[in-house]
A and B are shown apart, each in its own frame.
Chain A
Amino acid sequence: MDVQSIIIAAAIVGAVGLFAGLLLGIASEKFKVKVNETEVKVRECLPGNNCGGCGYPGCDGLAAAIAKGEARPGSCPVGGEPVEKAIKEVLGSGSKDAEGEADAAEEPVKLVAHVHCRGTCDKAKEAYEYVGPKDCRIATNSPGGGPKACANGCLGFGSCAKVCQFGAIRIVNGVAVIDRDKCKSCSQCVATCPRGLIKMVPYDAAGEGNLALVECSSKDFGKDVKAVCEVGCIGCGMCARNCPVEAIKVENNLAVVDYEKCVGCGACKAKCPVKVII
């Protein structure tokens, strides 16, 4: 092999490379997908969990909506304030209007998910011994909707804990418990619970908060509730009679709190005979 053929080979490969490079360069300019720069920047601010908690298809969807002005900068329930601030900065550099509008809109109350049941293993009865997959959604097809004697009680197999991306749900003594500080309000657990026990409540109602919270979801009559659970709402109506602002009432044998009205005075908590309001 002589030097000449090496040079020819190198030249051919080099020429092909150059040609392909040029072609790709032209193509990338010609077929360029136009992206909204604001959208890209907003997307960079978002956490990227793609949990869907905002109601948009993932973080990309929300970024597009915020950039178009369809969603508020604070729409990401996971990111909270820091993310909101960062997005406002991005939007602020683009348009002054968006910032003014967002400020004018009322700040919504922070909502967190809460399991409305505390029928733990020692407080609520089991109707039978369950053998089968440890998944609430499948167990709910077994007789009585699951082994728990109360048809509205937490089954405790942790389907909600499995879907929570933030590790906010634990099963404690047979009942799911949500850590209100870890909850990012994405509502995945609300959609998963086959018994509909998880509802979004104001941050101030869950756990140690002041507002009233009824820790039961049973719509059965008081006598039937008593038969299966020590800590179920019996629908006696003491709370409703003692509420100074008419924020709590009994519907279908279950006390329901109206958070628009509740002032957190604690009158219902003191009067509840089964201490189901916390």
Chain B
Amino acid sequence: MKHTFKGGIHPREGKHLSKDKPIREYLPKGDTVYPLSQHIGAPAKPVVKKGDEVLAGQLIAEAGGFVSANIHSSVSGKVKAIEKRLTASGSKVESIIIENDGLFNSVEMSGTDKPVKELTREEVIEAIKAAGIVGMGGAGFPTHVKLSPKEPDKIDRIIVNASECEPYLTSDYRRILEQADGVIEGLRIVLAIFPGAKGIIAIEDNKPEAIALLKEKLAGDSDITVNSMKTKYPEGAERQLIYVNTGRYINSRMLPADAGCVVHNVDTIHTIYEAVRLGKPLIDRIVTVTGDAITDPANFLVRTGTSYQELIDAAGGYLNDPAKIISGGPMMGKAIYDTDMPVTKGSSAILCMTEDAVSEFEPSACIRCGKCVEVCPGRVMPVNLANAAERGDIDAFLKGEGMECCECGCCSYVCPAKRHLTQTIAGTRKLVLASRKK
């Protein structure tokens, strides 16, 4: 039997819409927008000003601290303005706007072709830092920080998160099918920084073609294994992923490094490969545009800064009027109310649904069935936490280990009374985090 974790759910997958659509490159036509804060940590500082001419791949904002990341222009053109723009996070963020001249003239990029064994740690981390790579699964944690743990010798597992457990998303799947060599090379580069570590590509067993391809390419390789995992949401949540692949358990107060692990998304690993081998900064990513309201669901290789609306148009526009548009997957993504927002380093999908499955139901009283407790992968009791949160009782919330919640949404998904459990708990977690920062 395959290893798995406690709890979890099996939402309807919806991946069939876009899983067989090859990656299509899409070049932006309109202006591109680069929010200065598209990662965790300090916002980047602009190094260009209004009126400057820039080339694709040129640095336009540099990291504002150690935990921060560089931002590069993905098109050539002129800096139109530096002002606040709406992003998928829902708030207005200071952004650099570049008027796209449509030529895509690029700066010269050059990487190193040294064998993996000769690459030094500093060299690799410097290349990653310069390329402005952040976790592309959505959280946006700067990768060079992740790769500089306090005790690098204790790291013994590098896990590539290819589980893609969110329904509808197919960008990682397509990346593996079409660019498996880049992903494997990226992993080898990361392994070169941690000589004592072994690589694991963790992938759910609902993607047999990808598993077969990786196994074939890695036949006889002793450093990298492909781990096929039982399909279950949230398999790709960092803590659950580490538990499934290594049997080690971490809580919200620990980092993956405390369990000797470093976890990277497939897209991030591929971008590391591009940064080291080609010298190419993070200026594009794969975005799945899907949902039953989209005419022709697709996987686009798209430049950062491209407007969501352009991508929706490129996917044939709306088949039916969308009732709900979500940036990211349906479980953890954010509903958006305006499509005039840019693709950032962490945008994985645009999901357009014809029916709003949430607003149809009025929440009713808890019937004490215990389903939320059963499915919670964080091993907490969502109903108690939500009750404490509704009363505003932060002490009870913390005592119930409310901070262990990873906001995966399983409890809300199964709740027969349709209570807004995740939303309530997540909101209270943010209040606690904000009060800690003060």
Contact = CB atoms under 8 A, between A and B. Distances in A.
Which size bracket describes the interface of B in this complex?
20 to 34
A141 B427 contact: yes
A133 B90 contact: no
B335 interface: yes
Interface in A139-174: 139-145, 151, 162-163
B92 A151 contact: yes
Contacts of B295: none
B90 A144 contact: yes
A169 to B, nearest CB: 15
Nearest to B334: A143
A138 to B, nearest CB: 3
A38 to B, nearest CB: 33
A133 B424 contact: yes
Given A137-B427, A143-B336, A151 B420 contact: no
B91 A151 contact: yes
A143 B427 contact: no
A141 B358 contact: no
Contacts of A144: 86, 90-91, 337
B335 A135 contact: no
B426 interface: yes
Interface of B: 86, 89-92, 334-338, 356, 358-359, 389-390, 392, 420, 423-424, 426-428, 430-431
Contact of A141 (B86, B336, B356, B430): B430
Contact of A138 (B90, B338, B356, B427): B427
Nearest to B430: A141
A129 B358 CA distance: 11
A127 to B, nearest CB: 5
23 contacts: A127-B337, A127-B338, A128-B337, A131-B358, A131-B359, A133-B427, A135-B390, A135-B424, A135-B427, A137-B392, A138-B427, A142-B90, A142-B335, A142-B423, A143-B334, A143-B335, A143-B336, A143-B337, A144-B86, A144-B91, A145-B90, A151-B92, A162-B392
Given A138-B389, A145-B90, A151-B91, A133 B423 contact: yes
B424 A143 contact: no
A157 B89 CA distance: 22
Given A131-B420, A133-B420, A137-B427, 16 more contacts: A131-B359, A132-B420, A133-B390, A135-B390, A137-B392, A137-B428, A138-B424, A138-B428, A141-B423, A141-B427, A142-B423, A143-B91, A143-B334, A144-B86, A151-B92, A163-B392
Given A128-B337, A131-B359, A133-B390, A138 B423 contact: yes
Contacts of A138: 389, 423-424, 427-428
Interface in A110-138: 127-129, 131-133, 135, 137-138
Contact of B359 (A129, A135, A143, A162): A129
Given A127-B337, A128-B337, A143-B335, A137 B431 contact: yes
A141 B334 CA distance: 11
Contacts of A141: 423, 426-427, 430
A140 B427 contact: yes
A129 B325 CA distance: 12
B300 to A, nearest CB: 23
Given A129-B359, A132-B420, A133-B420, A143 B89 contact: yes
A148 B401 CA distance: 32
A198 B334 CA distance: 29
Contacts of B359: 129, 131
Contacts of B90: 142-145
Nearest to B423: A132
B95 to A, nearest CB: 15
A146 to B, nearest CB: 9
B311 to A, nearest CB: 19
A138 B392 CA distance: 10
B38 to A, nearest CB: 16
Interface in A235-257: none
Contacts of B427: 133, 135, 137-141
Contacts of B430: 141
Nearest to A149: B337
B44 to A, nearest CB: 22
Looking at A129, A131, A135, the one whose CB has the most chain B CB atoms below 10 A away is: A131
A142 B427 CA distance: 9
A162 B86 CA distance: 32
A142 B338 CA distance: 14
B101 to A, nearest CB: 28
Looking at A138, A151, A162, the one whose CB has the most chain B CB atoms below 10 A away is: A138
A135 B423 CA distance: 11
A129 to B, nearest CB: 7
Nearest to B358: A131
Contacts of A127: 337-338
A139 B427 CA distance: 7
A155 to B, nearest CB: 12
A225 to B, nearest CB: 13
Nearest to A126: B337
A144 B341 CA distance: 13
Looking at B337, B392, B420, B428, the one whose CB has the most chain A CB atoms below 10 A away is: B337
B329 to A, nearest CB: 16
Contacts of B336: 143
A91 to B, nearest CB: 36
Contacts of A140: 427
A133 B423 CA distance: 7
